Amino acid sequence: MNTLRLTPQDAPQAADIIAQGGLVAFPTETVYGLGANGLDPAAVAAIFAAKGRPQDNPLILHIPSAGHLERYCQNIPPAAYALARRFWPGPLTMILPRREVVPDVVTAGLDTVGMRCPNHPAALELLELCQLPVAAPSANTSGRPSPTTAQAVLEDMDGKIRAVVDGGPCQVGVESTIVDLTVSPPRLLRPGGVTLEELREAIGPVEVDEAVLRLMSTDEKPRAPGMKYRHYAPKAPVTVVRGDPAATARYIAQHLAPGVGVICFEDYVNLYPGCPLRSLGPQGDRAEQARRLFEALRWFDTQGGVAAIYAQSPDSDGLGLAVTNRLNKAAGFHIIDL
């Protein structure tokens, strides 16, 4: 299949492809999504095939406004509307009870469905034109870091999907926050662009699912099925070094060897001359760390001979909870605490 390179101006063509059951990768504020008609089981099955995604990992449905929630969800609690008013369009996914119209293949047979309204002009225009819920996971091969540019999408999806809409680099850089509103208190299943602090300010107590903070073993049954899978990982094993930034920078400098790659804050790049290295930006700039993380993880796969990667861990306040969650998952929770 020849994968078309489209621009946001080609939104009508992209919407037609989706209406016909095809796959289109498109930009959102978080990462690039791989979209299909979420009411068409065959189109949704094609997403799983293109990504090599396990069948029991459900997808998020994307809609152009909260006004579309009632079409696909029922028994919607007031907290959902409060969150939508405050954070939509934006990087927040809400888990809600689904209606029958949502196919099993989208929800992996669950009686709930993840709903999101993305804050990106190209995505919103596409969703308005489709007038369909667009099922869209991140547009990467399952297990790899999520794509934050059209180029990264093509690395994984060229020849496998009908089109990619190039909207430039993503502004947030990590996937949406997922909050389950079908339990009381609501539960954070995945940290993302909307912070835990912001959620609690908007709706009161929110619990953090333990899978956010630690590795789930394969025989555990997590709330969000995707939580148990290895994620975001480059080919070389990653070791996260956690603690005071000056100390973690020094620790990594002491463990350099041929074939060791480094992910560090801008403040410390001079400690690693000649090493394959990606900077996450200044140690105090969590938004920049989120924007850069996936590109950094992907970059090591394009370099020959990187056998191991050491990464400085950001702190986990605010957006840092999302950044550290993705980094720790990329490392299989292989973490050294100083």
Q: Which does 95 bind (CB under 5 to 8 A by kind): Mg ion, ligand AMP, none?
A: ligand AMP
Residue numbers 44-73 binding ligand AMP by CB under 6 A: 57-60
Q: Which does 226 bind (CB under 5 to 8 A by kind): Mg ion, ligand AMP, none?
A: ligand AMP
- Measured from the Cβ of residue 289, the count of other Cβ atoms closer than 10 Å reads 28
157 binds ligand AMP (CB under 6 A): no
177 binds ligand AMP (CB under 6 A): no
Binding residue count for Mg ion, defined by CB under 5 A? 2
Both tokens of 51, joined, read 């990504």
Residue numbers 103-162 binding Mg ion by CB under 5 A: 137-138
289 binds Mg ion (CB under 5 A): no
Cβ proximity to ligand AMP: between 32 and 299 the closer is 32
For residue 138, the 8-state DSSP code is B
Helices (H), the chain: 11-19, 41-51, 69-72, 78-87, 104-107, 121-130, 150-157, 196-203, 245-254, 286-302, 320-330
Residue found by looking up tokens 């999907």 in the block:
161
For residue 203, the 8-state DSSP code is H
**263-267 long-range contacts, Cβ below 8 Å, gap at least 24?**
263/238, 263/296, 263/297, 263/309, 263/310, 263/311, 263/312, 263/327, 264/311, 264/312, 265/312
Cβ proximity to ligand AMP: between 37 and 107 the closer is 107
Cβ proximity to Mg ion: between 138 and 289 the closer is 138
As measured in angstroms, the least distance from the Cβ of 146 to Mg ion is 5
Provide the β-strand partners of residue 278: 263
* Binding residue (CB under 6 A) for ligand AMP from 38, 226, 245, 261: 226
> Letter for the amino acid at 245?
P
- Measured from the Cβ of residue 233, the count of other Cβ atoms closer than 10 Å reads 18
The span of 71-79, 112-120, 156-164, 296-304 binding ligand AMP (CB under 6 A) equals 112-120
As measured in angstroms, the least distance from the Cβ of 79 to Mg ion is 25
147 binds ligand AMP (CB under 6 A): no
225 binds ligand AMP (CB under 6 A): yes
The span of 83-91, 106-114, 201-209, 283-291 binding ligand AMP (CB under 6 A) equals 106-114
Cβ proximity to Mg ion: between 91 and 276 the closer is 91
As measured in angstroms, the least distance from the Cβ of 31 to ligand AMP is 8
**Are 50 and 157 contacting, i.e. CB atoms less than 8 angstroms apart?**
yes
114 binds ligand AMP (CB under 6 A): yes
Distance CA 71, CA 67 (A): 9
- Measured from the Cβ of residue 220, the count of other Cβ atoms closer than 10 Å reads 11
For residue 210, the 8-state DSSP code is G
274 Cβ neighbours under 8 A, 6+ residues apart: none
Binding residue count for ligand AMP, defined by CB under 6 A? 18
Give the rounded distance of the alpha carbon of 331 from its chain centre: 16
137 binds ligand AMP (CB under 6 A): yes
113 binds ligand AMP (CB under 6 A): yes
Cβ proximity to ligand AMP: between 32 and 268 the closer is 32
- Measured from the Cβ of residue 333, the count of other Cβ atoms closer than 10 Å reads 12
Contact flags string 181-210 toward ligand AMP, x per CB under 6 A: --------x---------------------
Both tokens of 321, joined, read 């909870």
* Binding residue (CB under 6 A) for ligand AMP from 46, 50, 130, 178: 178
> Letter for the amino acid at 114?
G
Cβ proximity to Mg ion: between 44 and 203 the closer is 44
Where on the chain is the footprint of ligand AMP (CB under 6 A)?
Answer: 57-60, 95, 107, 110, 112-114, 137-138, 175, 178, 189, 224-226
